[in-house]
Structure formats: structure tokens, C-alpha cells
Amino acid sequence: MDDTLQSRLSVADKAHCWHPFTPVADWEASDPLIIQSGHGVYLFDIAGNRYFDGTSSLWCSALGHRHPRLDAALIDQIGQMGHSTFLGMTHPKAIQLAQRLAEITADGLDRVFYSDNGATAVEIALKMAFQYHVQKPSPEPQRTRFLGLTGAYHGDTLGDVSVGGVNHFHSLFKPLLFETLRAPAPHCYRCPLGLSRPQCALACLKEATDLIDQHAETLAAVVVEPIVQGASGMITQPEGWLKGLADHCRNRNVLLILDEVAVGFGRTGTMFACEQEAVSPDFICLAKGLTGGYLPMAATVTTNEIYNAFRGDPSNPKTFYHGHTFTGNPLGSAVALAVLDAFEHDHILENVNRQAQRISERFDRDLIGRRFIGEIRQRGLMIGVDLVQDRATQMEFPAHLKPSAIMCRIARSKGLLIRPLGHNVTFLPPLISTDQEINDMLGIFIESYLEMENTIAAELVP
């Protein structure tokens, strides 16, 4: 390895870069991982070391790196143009992509508004929902409030932080936020109501629907991450919860915004997570996997009923005054079309379900029942492993012990990149991973858990 290059880059990074969600002191004390290239499920650092990309580069490089279809689409498009504005003009790739997104999303979702990332996709849905109520044929401008879930994460713009509920990330900004109604996330392992399945009869759903009833006249929309709440630790929703919520929203004329930024594009085993409960929302927010992680692009897909409320006349144009310079970027659109081709022709969803089964069997065999394994939550290839100090009581580790961070550090030294989320270890391998690649990743995952278990057990000895 070229030590001088590694250290020169490291010094320059620490002098000038500011990394998201990264404590400054920890970063400055660290030996940064400098990634140079990627291929398939692998990333390579500048020293040539190979790592499995076990988080799909923060859940977005769903089809791996240097995917032939995606590379070819990008190269072809760059030969035509890199960018042209979508404000008052259009171009073929974004038109084709909108057409195909309308085809593959739930019935009625026919209208696509592009932006750049997951946060903007959700922010746009919030603003559209509010403006829709002001402008619809029988206006209800008093519908100004939103309902979100405890532990929700929808991105880092102020609107998204307002509807988000991860206190650790969001509480500091409280003075800047609008107030949001908050329903308990359905978290069966740590039930907020102290109940257990199935005797609970989805009492947490009733908490949400009661709140909707109490505020039905002023609610603009309910916003949730369907099936799996990602950033709060891969909280998986019990069967029937999403459908119950969606039906109730429909009955009370409250719009439903589904944030599929993390779960969309095959991650949970279906193209979109809401398909698993046959739910058709008013808005679906897409990003991350949309371009297979190649380019920052997002889409807020909604109905023509919403869209029609934005058609005015010269005296009152009713325009949605929101947009981004890179809205509908042609390079992103071209790659996204190639992603959809891959789903159509390359049996991606079949592979997700096959590998999900392989992982679940291996975890059942080698991890369940181990000393610090609290709960393993999985939908498709979206997996979170909760680590607890005491399995019987579900007691959490004290803050100074960081078993998940230790486990991820060990895994990295063995060639697998995974990430801690509090006391949860997240594992989201690329959707194109082969049997052998998944086996190898699992081998490292389990070895890393066992080493961490020994280290932490030694620390816990009184």
C-alpha cells in the first residue's frame, strides 16, 4: 500500500471534510477507511483491501457496484447530455421513467414529481398534501397537521425532522420544528403498551386510529415508513397494522404518505413494501434504490386527484412553488430506467427472497439463543440484530459499552462493512448477492458476533 497516499488523504480529509452523522472527535481519532472502487458486492479501499458492502452503501447500492446495465445506461446518456432543467421543459428519459414508475406503483399513483434525495421526496409530499387541502374543490385549509410515528426517520430537512421521531437526532432542533401528532410505532419486541402478540389485538393501531379520529378535521396527512421503520433499528410492523392504518386514513379523508425511501425497490422482498399489505397510498416517496445508488435522485409519486388541485388559471395559477435545480436529471433518469430493466429481466426479487431465506435459516441456527442476541428483525434483505445485555429481561447495555460498534469494527477488519444503529447491528446486503457471497458475509457476521460476545462478556465480569 502507498502509506503516504493514505496518510496524505487522511490528513486532507480531516482538515477539510465534514462527515454526516459522524462525531467529529471520533472521526479525528480514527484511521479513515478510504474507498477507491467497487465491483458487484465488493468495495475496495485505496490499499486494495476488499470489503463486502454489507449495508449496500447506506441501503442504496441495491444492485451492487459497476452493474453492467447501469454503467451502460449512464455512458449512453452522458454521450447525449448531462443535464437540462425540468422547470418548464422536459426530456425523454424523465418522461419514460415517470411512465414506468406509474406502471409499477399502486393503482392510482400516476403523477411523478422528481427531486434529489429521500429527504426532499418526503418534504415535497408534506408540502403537496398541505397545499392540496387548500386548493381542492372543497377546500379545507384548516388541515395543517401531520401524524407521524415514534422513532420515525424521514430525512434531515426541517419538515422531515418535524414529522420524524428519533429523539437522539431531532430533539436539539425542537425550537425550529412544527408540532406533529405522534402515534406509537408498532414495536412488538419492546411494545410501547406493554402488551404482546397476538393477545394485544393490535392495540397500538387503535392508539393511532384514535388520534386520527380526535384530529380528523385538522389532519393533512399521516406519514409512515411502511413494513420496516429503518433508522430506529429495523422495527418490523406486525401483519395487518399498515392495512388497518391505511383503511382508517381513507375512511377519515386523511391523506397517507408512505416513505418507501429505504424499503422501496425490492429491499423487503416485493418491489414496494406497501404491496405486502395491498395498500395504495396517496403519496409514495422513493429515492435510494431508484438509481441503484448511482446518482442522487428521488421521486414523489401521487394521484391525479392531488395533481388536479394544482391546475389553476392565470388569475390563480395554483402552482406548486417547489423545485430543485437537478429535478429530473437525465443521467439519474437513464440509470433509474436501467434499474427497472434489471428488476424486469434479472430475477432480482426472486434472489432477494432466496437469500433472505438463507440468512434467516443461518441466523436461526447460529445466532438465535446466543447470550447477547435480543431479537433479529428481518424483512427480505433488510435486517437488524438487537443486542441486549440480558436476553431474559431484554435489558439494554449501558451507554459506555458499545457492542454493536465493536462488532462492526471486528467485521470490518475481516472484510465486511456493516453499521451499528444504537445497540442494533444492521445488515442490508446488495440485492444481487449470490449464494456464495451471502454465505461468506454470514460467516464473517457470525464470527464477528462471537468475538464481540467474548470481549463484552469479559467486560461484564464483576
Ligand X SMILES: Cc1ncc(COP(=O)(O)O)c(C=O)c1O
Give the range of 40-48, 149-157, 384-392, 452-460 binding ligand X by CB under 6 A: 149-157
Rank residues 148 and 155 by Cβ distance to ligand X and give the closer one. 155
Q: Which of 64, 118, 292, 328 binds ligand X (CB under 6 A)?
A: 118
Rank residues 109 and 297 by Cβ distance to ligand X and give the closer one. 297
Chain centroid to CA 446: 24
Q: Which of 123, 259, 386, 437 binds ligand X (CB under 6 A)?
A: 259
**CB 287 to ligand X: min, Å:** 5
Give the range of 10-18, 64-72, 225-233, 355-363 binding ligand X by CB under 6 A: 225-233
The answer to whether residue 262 forms part of the interface with ligand X (CB under 6 A) is: yes
Q: Is 223 exposed, middle or buried (0-12, 13-18, 19+ CB in 10 A)?
A: buried
Q: Which residue is nearest to ligand X (CB)?
A: 118
**CB 288 to ligand X: min, Å:** 6
CA 32, CA 39: separation in Å to the nearest integer? 21
Give the range of 95-103, 210-218, 224-232, 380-388 binding ligand X by CB under 6 A: 224-232
Give the range of 88-96, 114-122, 396-404, 424-432 binding ligand X by CB under 6 A: 114-122
Give the range of 62-70, 150-158, 205-213, 417-425 binding ligand X by CB under 6 A: 150-158
Give the range of 116-124, 325-333, 339-347, 410-418 binding ligand X by CB under 6 A: 116-124
Give the range of 77-85, 111-119, 380-388, 447-455 binding ligand X by CB under 6 A: 111-119
The answer to whether residue 119 forms part of the interface with ligand X (CB under 6 A) is: yes
Q: Which of 61, 117, 232, 236 binds ligand X (CB under 6 A)?
A: 117
C-alpha distances in Å from residue 6, one per residue of 13, 15, 29, 212 = 10, 14, 15, 55
Q: How many residues bind ligand X (CB under 6 A)?
A: 14
**CB 268 to ligand X: min, Å:** 12
Chain centroid to CA 42: 21
The answer to whether residue 153 forms part of the interface with ligand X (CB under 6 A) is: yes
**CB 298 to ligand X: min, Å:** 7
Q: 3-state secondary structure string, the chain?
A: CCHHHHHHHHHHHHHHCCCCCCCHHHHHHCCCCCEEEEEECEEEECCCCEEEECCHHHHCCCCCECCHHHHHHHHHHHCCCCCCCCCCCCCHHHHHHHHHHHHHCCCCEEEEEEECCHHHHHHHHHHHHHHHHHHCCCCCCCCCEEEEECCCCCCCCHHHHHHCCCHHHHHHHHHHCCCCEEECCCCCCCCCCCCCCCCCCCHHHHHHHHHHHHCCCCEEEEEECCCEECCCCCEECCCCHHHHHHHHHHHCCCEEEEECCCCCCCCCCCCCHHHHHCCCCCEEEECHHHHCCCCCCEEEEEEHHHHHCCCCECCECCCCCCCCCCCCCHHHHHHHHHHHHHHHHCCHHHHHHHHHHHHHHHHHHHCCCCCCEEEEEEECCEEEEEECCECCCCECCCCCCCHHHHHHHHHHHCCEECEEECCEEEECCCCCCCHHHHHHHHHHHHHHHHHHHHHHHHHHCC
* Grid-cell match 429505504, residue found: 262
**CB 428 to ligand X: min, Å:** 11
List the x/- string, 165-184, binding to ligand X by CB under 6 A. Answer: --------------------
Q: Which of 143, 154, 170, 379 binds ligand X (CB under 6 A)?
A: 154
List the x/- string, 274-313, binding to ligand X by CB under 6 A. Answer: -------------x--------------------------
Q: Which of 64, 114, 187, 225 binds ligand X (CB under 6 A)?
A: 225
**CB 131 to ligand X: min, Å:** 21
The answer to whether residue 155 forms part of the interface with ligand X (CB under 6 A) is: yes
**CB 459 to ligand X: min, Å:** 31
Q: Which of residues 431-450 bind ligand X (CB under 6 A)?
A: none
Q: Contact, 218 vs 228, CB < 8 A?
A: no
The angle, 0 to 180 degrees and rounded to 10, between the axes of the packed helices 348-366 and 330-345 is 70
**CB 183 to ligand X: min, Å:** 17
Give the range of 125-133, 152-160, 381-389, 415-423 binding ligand X by CB under 6 A: 152-160
The answer to whether residue 230 forms part of the interface with ligand X (CB under 6 A) is: yes
**CB 101 to ligand X: min, Å:** 17
Rank residues 231 and 452 by Cβ distance to ligand X and give the closer one. 231
CA 200, CA 351: separation in Å to the nearest integer? 35
Give the range of 85-93, 115-123, 237-245, 427-435 binding ligand X by CB under 6 A: 115-123
Residues that bind ligand X (CB under 6 A): 117-119, 122, 153-155, 225, 230-231, 259, 261-262, 287
